[in-house]
Every structure is written in structure tokens, then in C-alpha cells.
């Protein structure tokens, strides 16, 4: 379930409502935010199935006037490194001027009869800031079908730092709406930052 809003108190309440180790998640996020005012946020708790195990994790996205903060918490079963179950929380703070791309992919049913303002049934928000890139390579070729020369490789490099997928069926329409609102706030904030340079 995702929650979005614009206040630090609202952020804390959304983390608590997610029900996923709220004290742990809130402490990590609040430490990363520090004294900055929260402009917008999304809290997305997701349950996945991995073989015979049910795994939960939560992602918290926070926008301040100067930074984009992403926090992710996963739970792990007991293993050779720990005799008891444990959770791992990580946070990353990114200056807004480092964000290089914001991609919002929308899946819309019956596009021939789409009405502006209708919520998509699924949204994937992908944010890139240069920490992680995906490179897809393939052998290069020329137009000569008889050529057997080595033309090297060609490919694409794609920023792939964070992808958050929400759907109407799995998360509800409010989650889809809230993710779109956060994406718009982040896009506007990065445009303002780049214009100020």
C-alpha cells in the first residue's frame, strides 16, 4: 500500500500505517531527511513470493527542496550469518541536480476509448541519477549480407537506479494516483533545479 503527502508528520504516519517495521523504517528515513521539510513522499509496501517463502519489503521515496531520498527495507530469514530473522535498511540521498531521468510508464486499458484524466491500471516510475546503469550490447553489423568482418558492438546504456511498480489491481487506485503525484512533484523539482543553474 502506498501513501503520499507533503508533511514530515504525514510521512511518519504513512510509515506507521504500512505496518512494516515502522520504528526501524521511520528512524532510517528521518535520519536521512534530517531537518529538511518534506515536499512529497510515497511509502510502498510490497509482498512477494520467493519459492516457498513470503517476503515483504518497503520502499520510501521522499522529496525535499534539495534532495531525493530513497529508503528500502527488506526482511531476511535466519541464515548462516544470523540465527534469527533480520532486516536490512538502506537509504540514499541524491541532490536534485544529479537526477538525470524520470520515466513514468503507464499501462492503460482500452486506449481507443481513453478519456483524459482516467487513471492507468499500472504505473512504473523509473528514476535515474547515475549510480546504476544497464548496458545492452549486441554485435554490430553492416548492410552487406556477405560481409564477415568484425564490426564491434553496438548497444544502449540506460539509467536504472530505481524502478517502482504499482497497479490498480494489486495496490489500489489511490496508490496509482499517489505515485503519479509524486512523479510530477519530482519532475517539477528537478526542472526548477536545472533552470536555476
Distance of CA 102 to the CA centre of its chain: 10
Q: What is the DSSP letter of 35?
A: T
Separation CA 102–CA 190 (nearest Å): 9
Estimate to the nearest angstrom the gap between the alpha carbon of 137 and the chain centroid. 25
**Per-residue confidence (pLDDT) for residue 98, from 0 to 100:** 92
Q: How many alpha carbons fall within 13 Å on the CB side of residue 85?
A: 8
pLDDT of residue 1: 40
Calculate the CA dihedral of residues 63, 69, 75, 76 and round it to 10 degrees: 160
DSSP H or E run through 88: strand 86-95
Q: Whose CA is closest to 120, among 177, 159, 158?
A: 177
The span from the CA of 166 to the CA of 125, in Å, is 9
Grid coordinates of 45: 509496501
Is 33 exposed, middle or buried, given 0-12, 13-18 or 19+ CB atoms closer than 10 A?
A: buried
CA angle 119, 164, 112 (to 5 degrees): 30
Task: Supply the pLDDT for residue 5.
Answer: 53
Residue 59 pLDDT: 95
pLDDT of residue 112: 95
* DSSP summary character for residue 145: T
* Residue 133 in grid coordinates: 546503469
Residue 195 pLDDT: 67
Q: What is the mean pLDDT of each run of 10 residues along the chain (197 residues)?
A: 62 90 96 93 83 83 96 88 91 94 94 94 92 73 83 72 90 89 95 72
- Closest Cα to residue 129, out of 89, 165, 163, 96? 96
**Cell numbers at residue 182, please?**
509524486
pLDDT confidence of residue 110: 93
The DSSP symbol for 27 reads H
Amino acid at each position: 500500500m502506498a501513501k503520499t503527502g507533503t508533511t514530515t508528520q504525514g510521512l511518519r504516519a504513512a510509515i506507521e500505517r504500512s505496518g512494516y517495521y515502522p520504528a526501524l523504517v521511520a528512524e532510517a528515513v528521518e535520519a536521512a531527511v534530517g531537518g529538511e521539510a518534506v515536499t512529497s513522499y510515497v511509502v510502498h509496501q510490497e509482498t512477494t513470493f520467493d519459492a516457498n517463502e513470503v517476503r515483504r519489503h518497503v520502499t520510501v521515496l521522499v522529496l525535499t527542496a534539495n534532495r531525493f531520498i530513497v529508503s528500502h527495507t527488506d526482511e531476511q530469514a535466519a541464515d548462516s550469518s544470523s540465527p534469527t530473522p533480520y532486516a536490512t535498511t538502506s537509504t540514499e540521498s541524491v541532490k536534485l541536480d544529479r537526477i538525470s531521468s524520470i520515466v513514468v510508464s503507464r499501462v492503460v486499458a482500452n486506449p481507443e476509448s481513453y478519456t483524459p484524466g482516467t487513471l492507468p491500471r499500472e504505473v512504473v516510475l523509473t528514476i535515474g541519477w547515475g549510480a546504476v546503469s544497464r548496458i545492452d550490447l549486441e554485435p554490430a553489423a553492416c548492410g552487406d549480407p556477405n560481409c564477415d568482418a568484425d564490426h564491434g558492438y553496438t548497444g544502449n546504456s540506460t539509467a536504472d537506479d530505481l524502478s517502482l511498480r504499482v497497479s490498480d489491481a494489486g495496490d489500489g487506485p489511490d496508490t496509482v494516483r499517489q505515485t503519479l503525484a509524486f512523479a510530477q512533484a519530482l519532475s517539477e523539482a528537478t526542472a526548477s533545479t536545472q533552470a536555476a543553474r
